[in-house]
Amino acid sequence: MKSILNNSRFSIPKRTSQSAALSLKLIVFGIGKLTVAFPIERVHKIINCTPVHGSGLSHIGITHIDDREVTVVDLHQRLFGFTQPTDIQAKGYLVNVQSAQGELFSIPTANAPTLMEAPLSRIRALPESYRRSDTLEIASHVIMLAQSEKNLTIFLLDVNRLL
């Protein structure tokens, strides 16, 4: 079976009786009121938050993980213009993702990310016009999943558009 990842964009196979049951494993977490995800293949590891260093004037910082320096992208600040109100460094997590070029990025989140599976039939590409005109230009696809009494909307992030 061909990989559904194609240059960090998704190439959804044509639906057949065999592929109808296919799903994509995701690491899902919240950023503000949004629910976002990365394909599990892009996630290097999830760790407890470590101190982030930087000027605080932008959404970019740096942290030390193991024996390397890793760029931290504060998605909350990038998307909403201000850092998250909670003290993430004391009790949050870093989702470490790897770009197609092999560079690691960390995304801070207040709550523990979860592993979910999304049927390929529920994954839709976001229109380019939306991506060009919204701060969610870093999202490539949207997933609608039924959960309990309401639908869950998950924006699938493109790691190569983080910076």
CA distance 59 to 68: 20
The reported pLDDT for the residue numbered 162 is 81
Per-residue tens of pLDDT for the chain, all 163 residues: 333 333 344 444 444 445 445 999 999 999 988 999 999 999 999 999 999 898 877 889 999 998 999 999 999 888 888 776 556 666 899 999 999 888 999 999 989 999 999 999 999 999 988 877 777 889 999 999 987 788 899 999 998 888 7
Rounded Cα distance, 109 and 150, in Å: 23
CA distance 138 to 76: 13
Domain map of the chain by residue range?
23-41+114-161, 42-109
Question: Using CA atoms, how far apart are residues 20 and 14, in angstroms rounded to an integer?
Answer: 9
pTM above 0.95, yes or no: no
- Specify the pLDDT at position 82: 78
Q: So what's the pLDDT on residue 112?
A: 93
Residue 158: phi, psi to the nearest 5?
-100, 105
Is it true that domain 23-41+114-161 has CATH number 3.40.50.11600?
no
Class of domain 42-109: mainly beta
The pLDDT value recorded for residue 87 is: 60
**Structural element, H or E, at residue 146:** strand 139-147
Nearest one of 95, 162, 158 to 125, comparing CA atoms: 158
CA angle 90, 67, 157 (to 5 degrees): 65
Identity at 63, one-letter amino acid code? T
